[in-house]
Amino acid sequence: MRKANIVVFASGTGSNFSAVVRAVKTGVIKANVALLICDNPDAPVINKAVKAKIKTVIIAAKDFPSRDSFEKAVIGVLRSCNADLIVLAGFMRILSPSFVKRYPKRIINIHPALLPSFKGAHAIRDAFEYGVKVTGVTVHFVDEQTDHGPVIIQEPVRIEGKDTLQRLEKRIHKVEHRIYPEAIDLCLRGRLRFRGRKVVR
């Protein structure tokens, strides 16, 4: 029986990419990181993939005339590697509804807030500046809406009086790096069931 193939999409530093690779190498996730797809040729995650000996394909959106043509190129790459699960790890592009429908319940994302609160690219800052007492991390299946879809795992992070934005970011990232591999493992082992729009274990 072959191991499942994970494809990671990333655009930036790649800290969650590294957490997933570590979890695979230590056996926490029993799968292969088959590929990194990166839309940013200057992203630090590319060097991390090279050091980890993970195949990388750079597909820069600026090289395509439309989102549709960009996504067709991505789909072509995915076909070539038998992707079982697509893991978004700081991927800073919104996938179209048609792309998401092509991979139902096979795309997951991690968001640094307790969705549905503080959607968007600056969730940690937004929660900190709003003054909430508790924020957190959400891992969810991706659907046709942004920062939406059935929740796999959520974990709260209390905002402490001594927190700066930078300290809060570090604490949230630490939670991300722990629960994302856990969520991936649950997906790949078939431990999740759908009840309507909800995920149950």
> What 8-state DSSP symbol labels residue 3?
P
Mean pLDDT of 182-200: 89
Q: What is the pLDDT of residue 5?
A: 96
Residue 74 makes CB contacts below 8 A (sequence gap 6+) with 37, 59, 99
Tokens describing residue 16:
């969650």
pLDDT digits (tens, 9 = 90+) for 50-60: 999 999 999 99
Distance CA 36, CA 34 (A): 7
Q: Which residue has the tokens 């040729």?
A: 41
Residue 194: which pLDDT band, with cuts at 50, 70 and 90? Answer: confident
pLDDT digits (tens, 9 = 90+) for 2-27: 889 999 999 999 999 999 999 999 99
- Given the residues 111, 148, 173, 177, the one annotated as active site: 111
Residue 200: which pLDDT band, with cuts at 50, 70 and 90? Answer: confident
Domain locations along the chain: 4-200
Q: What is the pLDDT of residue 159?
A: 97
Residue 198: which pLDDT band, with cuts at 50, 70 and 90? Answer: confident
Predicted confidence (pLDDT) at residue 48 exceeds the cutoff of 80? yes
Mark whether 111 is an active-site residue.
yes
Domain 4-200 class? Answer: alpha beta
Q: State whether residue 75 is helix, strand or coil.
A: helix
Q: Which of 31, 137, 136 minimizes the C-alpha distance to 86?
A: 31
Calculated CA dihedral for residues 79, 89, 136, 185, nearest 10 degrees: 50
pLDDT digits (tens, 9 = 90+) for 161-173: 999 999 999 999 9
pLDDT digits (tens, 9 = 90+) for 61-91: 999 999 999 999 999 999 988 899 999 999 9
Q: What is the number of alpha carbons within 13 Å of residue 137 lying toward its C-beta?
A: 22
> What 8-state DSSP symbol labels residue 62?
G
Residue 196: which pLDDT band, with cuts at 50, 70 and 90? Answer: confident
pLDDT digits (tens, 9 = 90+) for 85-132: 999 999 999 999 999 999 999 999 999 999 999 999 999 999 999 999
> What 8-state DSSP symbol labels residue 109?
E
Helices and strands, counts by H and E, the chain: 6, 9
